Structure 1
Amino acid sequence: MSFNKYIQLALAFVFGIFFISCNKAKTSELQENSIQFDSLVIQKEKHLFNDTSKANANIELKLVVPKPNTSKNILSEIEKNFKVTLFGTVDFSKSMKDLANGYVENYFKEYKALEAIYLKDQEAYKQKQGSQEEDIYEPMESSYDYQHSTELELKFNKANLLSYVIHRYDYTGGAHGMNTDSCYTIVLNNGKLLKQEDLFDEDAMDQVAALIVKHIAKDNKVTQAEELEELGYFSVKEIYPNGNLYVTDKGITWSYNPYDIAAYALGTITATIPFAELKPLLKPNHPLTAFVK
């Protein structure tokens, strides 16, 4: 190998190290938030009529709670947002654990109401036994099996932002259950949940939509967006920013639940748009200045 080749390889190596170092430095600029979390897991089941031979409901909650060593004001705001987004209108004086247990109790209370329907179905079946309609009225025990899960997954905890997704799954009989994802980002400086309108004016929405469609097409390895409709997507012209989003250092991720923009079989669909592409569309003085230079 010639001396010039050695020089070229050496320069390429040095440039590569410099490039990697710059990227690491850029990432390290985003400071970790001084917030740690504990896990809170509850899993219970209950049978109809408290009879283990009959159908049952199963519920599982997999949550996280901020540790008490978190700054008092920030701790309060995180807990407040977690409680509202997980459980709706609540008594904020109650702990996350108490609210979670109350959520489970209410789930079983609603399940117990099925006992009256169960008895009614059994009685209707008895009256039809021996008739041509017997098969239609025969109850299936499995049709009374219910299942619910809620999981709070942390996505990002840096630069005064805390992003998380609440995954829910419900099965109440039938062909399949239903998954839903709800996405949130807390701006820790003010304790508020980040909203789509905090970032974009209404007149930028069409351009944001175009970027979302572009990235969904790329993720599906199609060259024309309209090809998505052959894969089970509904009209690509109706894919629009839905406000169900969260922020990480990779960009802004929009999430679409089954049936939002595509057939159930395609599941939850996400599109992450890098900040470099969103920069021209963001409002002045938006809350993500740490990410968009």
Structure 2
Amino acid sequence: MKTPVLPIIFLSLAVLVACKEESTLSFSEFTLASKDNTIVELDIILASGDSEAANNVNAEIEKTIIFCLNAEKHNTDNLEVSIQNFNQDYIDFKKDFPESPQVWEAQIDGEVLYQTEDIISISITTYTNTGGAHGLLSITFLNFNPETGLLIPTINLINNTDEFSKLAQFYFEQSITKDDILFSPNTFQLPKNMAYTEEGIVLLYNAYEIAPYSTGIIEFKIPYHDANPFLVLNGS
């Protein structure tokens, strides 16, 4: 008796489709506000569900936020604990400087910039003010493998670093309007932050990375028709 081939093929296809659907991540908004001594406002996105991929993505997002709130001062991987630590740091600050009118604050926003079956790019924007001369605005890009939820290092997005650097330098120089950049054209370096968007690859330098605080964030995009030859994953 011959083994029926078509049912097996259909079953295999069904399994493949099911696996593909399971690997697709969706995101939902998560908001949290604390007005206990400090002002902490979170308006971020987290991966939905309890899959390993979703948990990996959320752990990395929370890790990024925790670092922005507490830097390396506190050893915790719990988001709510990090907010409590932020509040406690402010209480300690007021004990040391009771006359200071300064109120600490932290505002954190997150959004999905780009999502395909090959890559998910997320942006985390943070503004913190902890009593200095001015607050600090910072943007962090996170790129994920949708199937595993693991972070993809920026260097792993590029298949030819030297040629991509030349291309990036060209677009970088087109975007510069000030002459206070901290490196010369001969010492150009790719930024740590790179992400996919609908319009192209975006590269970003935060304040102080290559210029004074007054220059602010420096951001520029490279269209996919120029960037794709040097990318491991083509954008569209």
Q: Note closer, same or farther for the CA distance 1:157–1:199 as it changes in structure 2 (3 Å cut).
A: closer
Matched, 1:198 2:156: yes
Residue in 1 aligned with 2:56? Answer: 77
1:156 alignment partner, one of 101, 111, 114: 114
| Matched letter for residue 242 of structure 1 | P
Residue in 2 aligned with 1:44? Answer: 34
Shift of 1:244: 1.5
Shift of 1:64: 1.6
Shift of 1:34: 4.5
Residue in 1 aligned with 2:147? Answer: 189
Shift of 1:151: 1.6
1:277 alignment partner, one of 216, 220, 226: 226
**What is the correspondence of 1:112-131 to structure 2 with a 5 Å cutoff?**
112-119=91-98
Q: Note closer, same or farther for the CA distance 1:73–1:171 as it changes in structure 2 (3 Å cut).
A: closer
Higher helix share: 1
| Matched letter for residue 102 of structure 1 | V
CA contact (8 A) 1:145 1:173 kept: yes
Counterparts of 2:183 and 2:63, CA distance in 1 = 33
Residue in 2 aligned with 1:234? Answer: 182
Residue in 2 aligned with 1:212? Answer: 168
Q: Note closer, same or farther for the CA distance 1:191–1:35 as it changes in structure 2 (3 Å cut).
A: closer
Unpaired segments of 5 or more residues in structure 2? 1-22, 68-74
| Matched letter for residue 179 of structure 1 | L
Residue in 2 aligned with 1:267? Answer: 216
Identical-residue share of aligned pairs (%):
19
Shift of 1:258: 0.9
Shift of 1:218: 2.6
TM-score (ref. length: structure 1)? 0.61
Counterparts of 1:173 and 1:43, CA distance in 2 = 20
CA contact (8 A) 2:205 2:217 kept: yes
> What are the Cα deviations for residues 209-229 of structure 1, in whole angstroms up to 9, with x where unaligned?
332232233335xxxxxxx55
TM-score (ref. length: structure 2)? 0.73
SS of aligned partner of 1:192? coil
Shift of 1:170: 1.4
Counterparts of 1:43 and 1:80, CA distance in 2 = 20
Residue in 2 aligned with 1:125? Answer: none
| Matched letter for residue 63 of structure 1 | I
Counterparts of 2:106 and 2:217, CA distance in 1 = 17
Greater mean deviation of Cα atoms: 165-174 or 272-281: 272-281
CA contact (8 A) 2:24 2:147 kept: no
Q: Note closer, same or farther for the CA distance 1:73–1:268 as it changes in structure 2 (3 Å cut).
A: same
1:244 alignment partner, one of 193, 198, 205: 193
Q: Note closer, same or farther for the CA distance 1:236–1:275 as it changes in structure 2 (3 Å cut).
A: farther
**What is the correspondence of 1:171-182 to structure 2 with a 5 Å cutoff?**
171-182=129-140
Shift of 1:76: 2.8
Counterparts of 1:278 and 1:177, CA distance in 2 = 34
Choose 1 or 2 for highest CA Rg: 1
Shift of 1:117: 0.8
CA contact (8 A) 1:64 1:152 kept: yes
Counterparts of 2:79 and 2:32, CA distance in 1 = 8
Residue in 2 aligned with 1:7? Answer: none
SS of aligned partner of 1:42? strand
Shift of 1:279: 3.7
